[in-house]
């Protein structure tokens, strides 16, 4: 089979599509032929050695895939060849065949597009966990979403609305702000006058929940716009700079700073994670949430796609598609 292989940590351009041995289903493992492979911001950090996890090289990057089960190991009990499934792995998804333990595989209902399934895993999974478990978002509260046109940002908008919140989307261009509005945001603003705009839109009260996958200057400004008893969700640092928090602000304004590490959540609380995924899939089938799929690209385009994602040039979810899904 063909796969994108990271031979050594380094520039994205070093990634290459290579022919490697097909995986074999053993024990409780499952082999899946993907119809869609999700691209995520951490994928690009990982191959450069800039992520929290540093797997031994060589490895195949990629966390998400959705497709059809090709083979199952002798100890697999609940999955059979021909089943439509989605899989969440730490590695291995950028390939024509993906192997995973059955515990990481979710059955897909009829009618759920495999691209949407990929989006529901990491992007929607992160935003859902952040707002539901970490922020304990309540109906009627105001959520400000930074990076609102990205895959996690759009997910946060739709999930916050599903939970009964008011949403202020923050995005860098008029085009991205329009995408945020189309995704359900009540208001959409830019970064240039962020402090004044957030205060004006909240009547100087501040935001109850700040969803921040951006960090950098946006964090520096937005942390001064928190409401009393607010929750500032630290999702990531797409700006490239990890900010420092003046902790006196948390004392004076009485808000909490809450870390959100979705990967740890899925490992330490698998039952809660499974319940979250059931809720998200149910919302998608009901039309409550709908991922915005920017485009579908050949697997070989992964290096260029990852560069665009890391440069914050992407909107919504990007999907890779194996070039040969027939053999």
233-266 pLDDT, tens digit per residue, is 999 998 889 999 999 999 999 999 999 998 899 9
Place of tokens 């490239």: 240
Alpha carbon distances (Å) from 209 to 137, 150, 246, 276: 8, 18, 18, 20
Two structure tokens written together for 115: 């691209």
Q: Are 120 and 280 in contact (CB under 8 A)?
A: yes
3-class state of residue 64 by DSSP: strand
Phi, psi (degrees; rounded to nearest 5) at 97: -140, 140
Instruction: Write down the pTM of the prediction.
Output: 0.90
Two structure tokens written together for 24: 């074999």
pLDDT value for 240: 87
- Looking at residue 66, what DSSP letter applies? E
Give the domains, in start order, of the chain with CATH numbers. Answer: 2-108+292-321 (3.90.180.10), 123-263 (3.40.50.720)
Query: CB burial class (10 A; 0-12, 13-18, 19+) of residue 15?
Result: buried
CA torsion angle for 153, 154, 158, 164 (degrees, to 10)?
30
Tell me the C-alpha distance between 321 and 323, whole Å.
6
How many C-beta neighbours within 10 Å does residue 186 have?
17
Tell me the C-alpha distance between 134 and 52, whole Å.
20
pLDDT value for 225: 97
Place of tokens 């070039």: 323
pLDDT value for 324: 57
Nearest to 155 by CA among 206, 197, 213: 213
List the pLDDT tens digit at each of the 327 positions of the chain: 999 999 999 999 999 999 999 999 999 999 999 999 999 988 999 999 988 889 999 999 999 999 999 999 999 999 999 999 999 998 999 999 999 999 899 899 999 999 999 999 999 999 999 999 999 999 999 999 999 999 999 999 999 999 999 999 999 999 999 999 999 999 999 999 999 999 999 999 999 999 999 999 999 999 999 999 999 999 999 888 999 999 999 999 999 999 999 889 998 998 999 999 999 999 999 999 999 999 999 999 999 999 999 887 888 899 999 975 433
Alpha carbon distances (Å) from 113 to 86, 135, 143, 179, 235: 11, 29, 29, 21, 27
Strand partners, 187: 168
Place of tokens 């200057």: 217
pLDDT value for 116: 96
Q: Where are the alpha helices (DSSP H) in the chain?
A: 41-47, 114-121, 123-129, 151-162, 174-182, 194-201, 216-222, 247-253, 262-268, 270-286, 302-310
H-run or E-run covering 88: strand 84-88
Beta strands at 29-38 and 64-72: parallel, antiparallel or unpaired: antiparallel
Contacts of 96 (CB under 8 A, 6+ apart): 1, 2, 3, 33, 34, 299, 322, 323, 324, 325
């Amino acid at each position: 089979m063909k796969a994108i292989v990271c031979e050594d940590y380094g520039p994205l351009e070093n990634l290459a599509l290579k022919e490697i041995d097909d995986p074999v289903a053993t024990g409780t493992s499952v082999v899946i032929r993907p119809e869609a492979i999700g691209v995520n911001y951490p994928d690009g950090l990982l191959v450069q050695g800039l992520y929290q996890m540093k797997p031994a090289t060589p490895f195949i990057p990629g966390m998400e895939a959705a497709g059809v089960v090709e083979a199952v190991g002798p100890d697999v009990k609940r999955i059979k060849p021909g089943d439509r499934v989605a899989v969440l792995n730490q590695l291995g998804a950028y390939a024509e065949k993906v192997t995973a333990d059955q515990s990481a595989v979710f059955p897909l209902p009829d009618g759920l597009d495999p691209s949407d399934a990929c989006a529901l895993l990491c992007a929607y999974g992160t935003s859902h966990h952040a707002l539901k478990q970490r922020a304990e978002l309540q109906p009627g509260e105001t959520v400000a979403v930074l990076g609102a046109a990205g895959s996690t940002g759009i997910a946060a908008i739709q999930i916050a609305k599903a939970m009964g919140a008011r949403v202020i989307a923050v995005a860098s261009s008029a085009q991205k702000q329009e995408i945020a509005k189309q995704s359900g945001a009540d208001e959409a603003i830019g970064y240039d006058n962020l402090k004044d705009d957030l205060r004006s839109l909240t009547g100087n009260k501040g935001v109850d929940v700040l969803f921040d996958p951006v960090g950098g200057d946006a964090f520096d400004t937005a942390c001064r716009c928190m409401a009393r008893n607010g929750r500032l969700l630290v999702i990531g640092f797409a700006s490239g700079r990890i900010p420092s928090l003046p902790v006196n602000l948390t004392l004076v304004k009485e808000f909490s700073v809450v870390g959100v590490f979705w990967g740890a959540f899925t490992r330490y609380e698998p039952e809660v994670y499974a319940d979250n995924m059931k809720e998200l899939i149910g919302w998608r089938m009901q039309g409550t949430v709908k991922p915005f799929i920017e485009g579908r690209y050949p697997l070989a385009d992964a290096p260029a796609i990852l560069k665009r994602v890391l440069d914050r040039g992407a909107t919504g979810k990007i999907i890779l598609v194996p070039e040969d899904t027939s053999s």
